[in-house]
């Protein structure tokens, strides 16, 4: 069974998730589920809610909720996404691969060594995955690695989930595919598109205007970034950053090549 899920910690993020899910439901008539830590009574056909108790860290909540998906084939979307088309082709990748995500355009190498320098971080705002032993093991290890990175002063805490995701993918037996930018179009960054942008990722004052600009043509095209300024559509301010708290470090994933995390 296919489905699309969100993890939203805090009322403002829940509202964002509803907006994203509403955009997706225009094209994807499959179940949509928001894991949320606050009750929500918005009744939208095709959209359900599952309330959870937050651990206090929205990134760890996200990892835990991705692990809880009730679907055999899942697309996870961050709350600040906007869907512009049918996503069947992303689900179709799961006939061949266990997991798919895009590279992060704002890549910054964390101080985690032992892997190839050519192995970049992945953005965790759009992840397609199927229920398999390899994927479940990867998700379990992702949570453990995240706890380590988030508690280390060597890592940028707001990127710890990406650093940890890169690490566990490197060590996983899961078959993995890199999504093209059309399926995780990070509007804050320079981008190159070939096909139609299907998923915009980043807060915007006018997603439809963004889509009109990005998809006005087909074929190879490059954009510096979404235009901003007086009278132009651009970035919307994000919700306030949640305070970071220390977390108990659990059992870590096995070290790679004799080097510890």
Threshold 0.85, pTM exceeds: yes
Q: How far is CA 211 from the centre of its chain?
A: 20
pLDDT at 231 over 70: no
Task: Classify strands 32-36 and 2-8 as parallel, antiparallel or unpaired.
Answer: parallel
Q: Single out the residue of 168, 142, 143, 165 nearest to residue 247, CA to CA.
A: 143
Name residues whose C-beta falls within 8 Å of residue 31's C-beta, 6 or more positions apart in sequence. 1, 2, 3, 4, 46, 48, 71
Specify if 42 maps to a domain.
Answer: yes
Specify if 135 maps to a domain.
Answer: yes
Q: Residue 152's pLDDT band (boundaries 50, 70, 90)?
A: confident
Specify if 239 maps to a domain.
Answer: no
| pLDDT at res. 250 | 38
Specify if 246 maps to a domain.
Answer: no
Specify if 228 maps to a domain.
Answer: no
| pLDDT at res. 4 | 98
What percentage of the chain exceeds 90 in pLDDT? 64
Q: Which residues pair with 204 in a beta bridge?
A: 235
Between CA 120 and CA 140 the distance in angstroms is 21
Specify if 72 maps to a domain.
Answer: yes
Between CA 36 and CA 213 the distance in angstroms is 33
261, 253 in Cβ contact below 8 A?
A: yes
Q: In the predicted model, what is the mean pLDDT of residues 171-198?
A: 94
Number of domain units in the chain: 1
| pLDDT at res. 65 | 98
Q: Residue 156's pLDDT band (boundaries 50, 70, 90)?
A: low
Residues 47-94: pLDDT tens digits? 999 999 999 989 999 999 999 999 999 999 999 999 999 999 999 999
106, 186 in Cβ contact below 8 A?
A: yes
Specify if 199 maps to a domain.
Answer: no
Domain span at residue 139 reads 2-181
Between CA 259 and CA 239 the distance in angstroms is 38
Q: Residue 137's pLDDT band (boundaries 50, 70, 90)?
A: very high
Specify if 233 maps to a domain.
Answer: no
Residue 94's CATH number: 3.90.550.10
């Amino acid at each position: 069974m296919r489905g699309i899920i969100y993890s939203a910690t805090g009322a403002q993020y829940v509202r964002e998730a509803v907006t994203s899910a509403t955009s997706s439901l225009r094209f994807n008539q499959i179940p949509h589920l928001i894991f949320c830590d606050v009750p929500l009574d918005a009744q939208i056909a095709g959209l359900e809610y599952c309330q959870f108790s937050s651990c206090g860290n929205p990134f760890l909540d996200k990892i835990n909720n991705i692990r809880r998906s009730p679907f055999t084939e899942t697309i996870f979307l961050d709350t600040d996404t906007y869907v512009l088309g049918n996503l069947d082709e992303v689900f179709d990748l799961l006939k061949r691969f266990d997991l798919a995500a895009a590279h992060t355009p704002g890549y910054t190498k964390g101080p985690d060594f032992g892997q190839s320098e050519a192995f970049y971080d992945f953005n965790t705002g759009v992840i397609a995955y199927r229920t398999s032993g390899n994927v479940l093991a990867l998700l379990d290890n992702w949570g453990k690695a995240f706890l380590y990175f988030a508690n280390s002063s060597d890592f940028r805490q707001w990127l710890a989930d990406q650093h940890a995701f890169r690490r566990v993918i490197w060590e996983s037996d899961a078959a993995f595919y890199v999504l093209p930018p059309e399926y995780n179009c990070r509007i804050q960054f320079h981008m190159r598109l070939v096909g139609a942008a299907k998923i915009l990722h980043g807060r915007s004052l006018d997603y439809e205007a963004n889509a009109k600009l990005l998809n006005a043509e087909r074929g190879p095209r490059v954009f510096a970034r979404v235009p901003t300024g007086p009278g132009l559509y651009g970035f919307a301010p994000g919700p306030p950053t949640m305070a970071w708290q220390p977390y108990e470090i659990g059992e870590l994933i096995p070290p790679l090549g004799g080097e510890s995390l």
